[in-house]
Amino acid sequence: MSATERTERTERTEGAGNEPVPPLPGVLDVHAHYVTPALRAALEAAGHGRPDGMPAIPDWSPEEALALMDRTGVAAALLSVSSPGVHFGDDAAARALARRVNEEGAALVAAHPGRFGLLASLPLPDLAGAREEARYALDALGADGIALQTQYGGRHIGDAAFEPLLGDLSARGAVVVLHPTSPACFEAVADGFPRPMLEFPFETARAVAGLVLGGALDRHPGIRFVVPHAGGALPVLADRIAAFALASGNDVDVYGHLRRLYYDLAGFPLPRQLPALLTLTDEEHVLYGSDFPFTPGWVVEGMAATFARGVGFARGDGVFRRFAGA
């Protein structure tokens, strides 16, 4: 959101009398989750009633999501399934659950045209099932992109095991929105804290570092990646990653790749993280994200008000082109 747009919004607010003006008019939320009854039941049956160590699976309804969007000014929200995803150990069950939540997401998009979009879930680490579901979601359901976790079965998304899927998505020019999940060794490192507090930022950094240093971003230039939570730990580790790449003889352009990626603002990027991120990239590569409902609505509203006081970011329609002009 440019300085001119922020000035115009301030002028409208000051001249609006008693009518409240939403703080972020017309933005696209690229980090919004949905929790359907089927997904909730599957999570609870698999022992994920406290996903990633969080207190509970949050309540969600399209009506509540739309009301929050209206209060904050969000034009449209891209819905995705959060961690731990849809695969709980059985490939067939994961394929069925991915298909169900994707079709439920597509139904929400159809029921609220222009307000919701869909980032489809895939049943990884089942590669064959994931490639099939990606085709179905993009072709039959018209999904706006794919949501991928940072790792599956202990392998980060840049691992060679996922190369065929990345090739498919690159050939299609797909948008891939990353989302962190608990690391495979979380019992040894999380110290009993909810994994989103510390492990998610480092998982994000691990996954992106693997994509960059392993060459996946060079091999699959057609994918437009969106990195969550303002890059996680990347903004403070980028120089270290680049230095180790140089020392090991890896001539990959670390800074160039990080500059071209997109980043969402879900989480708590102020006052420290976002300024650091903007040393790596520019405002046109920074997108809004609410993380609702895992971030409660009242917190989302508070962050939106904070962003409105001078934070710059892109509208998002340049990445998710169906929403151009939203």
Q: What is the DSSP string of 179-198?
A: E----TTHHHHSTTS-HHHH
Residues near 304 by beta carbon (within 8 Å), at least 6 away in sequence: 22, 23, 24, 72, 73, 290
- Pair of tokens at residue 155: 């392998």
Q: Which residues are 78's β-sheet partners?
A: 117
Tokens 């919701």 — which residue?
116
Closest by CA position to 262, among listed 242, 239, 234? 234
The verdict on whether omega for the bond into residue 125 sits within 30 degrees of 0, i.e. cis, is yes
Task: Assess whether pLDDT exceeds 50 at residue 57.
Answer: yes
How much is the average pLDDT of 256-275? 96
Across all residues in the chain, what is the average pLDDT?
Answer: 92
Query: Judging by DSSP bridges, how do beta strands 262-264 and 224-227 pair with one another?
Result: parallel
State the Cα–Cα distance between residues 132 and 136, nearest whole angstrom.
6
Q: 263, 227 in Cβ contact below 8 A?
A: yes
pTM as predicted: 0.92
DSSP 252: -
pLDDT for the residue 190 = 73
Amino acid, res. 309: R
The residue type at 318: G
pLDDT at 46 (0 to 100):
97
To 10 degrees, the CA torsion angle through 294, 298, 299, 303? 130
Tell me the mean pLDDT in the region 207-225.
98
* Mean pLDDT, range 245-260, rounded to an integer: 97
Residues 220-248: what's their mean pLDDT? 97
Q: Residue 25: how many CB atoms within 10 A of its CB?
A: 17
Query: Residue 160 has what DSSP assignment?
Result: G
pLDDT at 34 over 80: yes
What is the average pLDDT across 291-312? 94
What whole-number distance in Å separates Cα of residue 242 and Cα of residue 232? 17
Over range 274-298, report the average pLDDT.
Answer: 96
**Average pLDDT of the residues in 294-319:** 91
pLDDT exceeds cutoff 80 at 220: yes
Collapse the DSSP code of 244 into the 3-class scheme (helix H, G, I; strand E, B; otherwise coil) and give the result: helix
* Eight-state DSSP code of residue 58: P
* Residue given tokens 């359901």 in the structure block: 141
- Going by their DSSP bridges, the two strands 224-227 and 151-152 should be labelled as unpaired
- Average pLDDT over every residue of 238-252: 96
Contact 272, 8 (CB under 8 A): no
Paired tokens of 189: 């490192």
